[in-house]
Structure 1
Amino acid sequence: MLDWSAIDTVLLDMDGTLLDLHFDNHFWLEHLPKRWSELTGIAETEARATLKAEYAVLHGKIEWYCLDYWTRRLNLPITALKREISDKIAMRADTPAFLQALQQSGRRIVLVTNAHPDSLSLKIELTPLATYIDELISTHEFGVTKEQQELWQQLQARLGFDAKRTLFVDDSLPILHAAQQFGIGHLLAVANPDSQQPVRQIDEFPAIIDYRDLVADILAAPVIAN
């Protein structure tokens, strides 16, 4: 599936790629509408409909991922509301073995997420992700998202990676297309980002269901000298 001898840098999404997307889907689609209704008196059906419409307008933009934006828009403590269901934050079962193999191989491992820094901090606090990863980056640092070419330009300027020798893994097909447009040489989609949802059929990119299927090939490839 992947030529590991041609990969030096691995860029990894977080939600749906390393972590189970069930937490995020449950928060934005179920918990937030319910709590907005309870805290303000808005009918829950109205809250759901309003949020669904706003999500559609903002999807892919920095505001969609921005907890500060939603805190102002709804006048709610979004990070605190996330903590109410933080027991749902979990790594994918296949993530540790994958990250351990990447570490052993000597490849540079960078997390690149559209998540707001407060959301990133919460998940780093509650999972062991940081122990496996060389650098943690929220695209909020750049003010643009992975859907936009400006992000990839700034990310390359910061990290200095060779695009042709870089692997990028994400569960979002629009984001994978943006990385492909920029010239990232190796792309991998996640077919099962949410453990509570069916596996998706993905034809545009190589797709993975279980990272453990990659471990032997990672470890068999030449070790990258740091």
Structure 2
Amino acid sequence: MLDWREIDTVLLDMDGTLLDLNFDNHFWQEFVPLRYAELHGLTLEAAKVALAPRFKAMEGKLEWYCLDYWSEELNLNIAGLKQELAGLIAVHPHVVEFLEAARGRGVYLLLVTNAHRDSLSLKMEKTCLHRFFDRIVSSHDVGLAKEQCGFWQRLQDQHVFEKQRTLLVDDSLAVLRSAAAFGIAHLVSISKPDSRRPIREITEFPAVEDFRALMPGLL
């Protein structure tokens, strides 16, 4: 589905793209509410009801991804709680083979994530994927979330790439829409970001279940 002769740069998301989103889904939807419930003497369901609108209000904003913000808001050590669940961090199938092939072809590889630096460091420590990338960029360094329209221009200003010869792989449709509006030519969505949830039906962008589908023509 990709003509690798037309691609020099690959921008890769982390959570849900390279890594199984089960970790983050479980962390924010179950583990944080559990600890919040313990802190405030609530049932788990009551904690989920209390937290849901607070989480929803921050979706797509940089604060949603900021561990410091949520630590202060919830009076919980979010980075510490992530360490407790670090055993759930897992790399999606065929990711390493893809990264090895891309490096072998001389593709410029950028990890571009909304993850806070503390979360990013934990996940790179657990997976060792950092060794494949020319650069690793957190949206917290850029000052905007990837969903926000100015993010991609700032990224290009800092890490020069040609939009027409760049591929972005991301599980977030909002991020892909933002990148499309900026003019990145090659866009691919991940249809199964969470290994424990069903494949999503995606028609807006080309979609793959795992990185095996992107390998033809790369080797």
* TM class, shorter-length: over 0.9
What does residue 211 of structure 2 align with? Answer: 211
| Corresponding residue SS for 1:83 | helix
What does residue 67 of structure 1 align with? Answer: 67
What does residue 136 of structure 1 align with? Answer: 136
List per-residue Cα deviations over 1:53-102 (Å, max 9, x = no partner): 11111100011111000000011100111111110001102211111111
Q: Give % identity.
A: 51
> Which amino acid counterpart does residue 13 of structure 2 have in structure 1?
D
The reply to whether residue 156 of structure 1 matches residue 153 of structure 2 is no
- In structure 2, C-alpha distance between the alignment counterparts of 1:49 and 1:58, rounded to whole Å: 16
User: How far 1:119 sits from its partner (Å)?
Assistant: 0.5
What does residue 38 of structure 1 align with? Answer: 38
- In structure 1, C-alpha distance between the alignment counterparts of 2:52 and 2:189, rounded to whole Å: 25
Q: Which moved more, 1:174-183 or 1:40-49?
A: 40-49
List per-residue Cα deviations over 1:92-145 (Å, max 9, x = no partner): 022111111111110000000001111001101111211111111100012111
- In structure 2, C-alpha distance between the alignment counterparts of 1:151 and 1:205, rounded to whole Å: 20
- In structure 1, C-alpha distance between the alignment counterparts of 2:57 and 2:208, rounded to whole Å: 30
- In structure 1, C-alpha distance between the alignment counterparts of 2:85 and 2:55, rounded to whole Å: 21
- In structure 2, C-alpha distance between the alignment counterparts of 1:166 and 1:110, rounded to whole Å: 11
| Corresponding residue SS for 1:24 | helix
Contact in 1 for aligned 2:19/2:92 (Cα 8 Å): yes
- In structure 1, C-alpha distance between the alignment counterparts of 2:56 and 2:78, rounded to whole Å: 19
What does residue 171 of structure 1 align with? Answer: 171
**Runs (5+) with no aligned partner, structure 1:** 220-226
CA RMSD of aligned residues (A): 0.9
What does residue 189 of structure 1 align with? Answer: 189
> Which amino acid counterpart does residue 171 of structure 2 have in structure 1?
D
| Corresponding residue SS for 1:48 | helix
**Runs (5+) with no aligned partner, structure 2:** none
- In structure 1, C-alpha distance between the alignment counterparts of 2:36 and 2:30, rounded to whole Å: 10
Q: Which moved more, 1:133-142 or 1:7-16?
A: 133-142
List per-residue Cα deviations over 1:142-177 (Å, max 9, x = no partner): 211111121111000011100111000100001100
User: How far 1:40 sits from its partner (Å)?
Assistant: 3.2
> Which amino acid counterpart does residue 15 of structure 2 have in structure 1?
D
Superposed, 1:81-96 pairs within 5 Å as 81-96=81-96
List per-residue Cα deviations over 1:173-192 (Å, max 9, x = no partner): 01100000000010000000
User: How far 1:39 sits from its partner (Å)?
Assistant: 2.9
Contact in 1 for aligned 2:65/2:114 (Cα 8 Å): yes
User: How far 1:9 sits from its partner (Å)?
Assistant: 0.3
TM-score normalized by the length of structure 2: 0.97
Q: Which moved more, 1:43-52 or 1:77-86?
A: 43-52
- In structure 2, C-alpha distance between the alignment counterparts of 1:195 and 1:130, rounded to whole Å: 22
> Which amino acid counterpart does residue 107 of structure 1 have in structure 2?
V
What does residue 78 of structure 1 align with? Answer: 78
Q: How many residues align?
A: 219
What does residue 117 of structure 1 align with? Answer: 117
- In structure 2, C-alpha distance between the alignment counterparts of 1:204 and 1:216, rounded to whole Å: 22
What does residue 104 of structure 1 align with? Answer: 104
The reply to whether residue 199 of structure 1 matches residue 209 of structure 2 is no
> Which amino acid counterpart does residue 199 of structure 2 have in structure 1?
V
- In structure 1, C-alpha distance between the alignment counterparts of 2:143 and 2:213, rounded to whole Å: 35
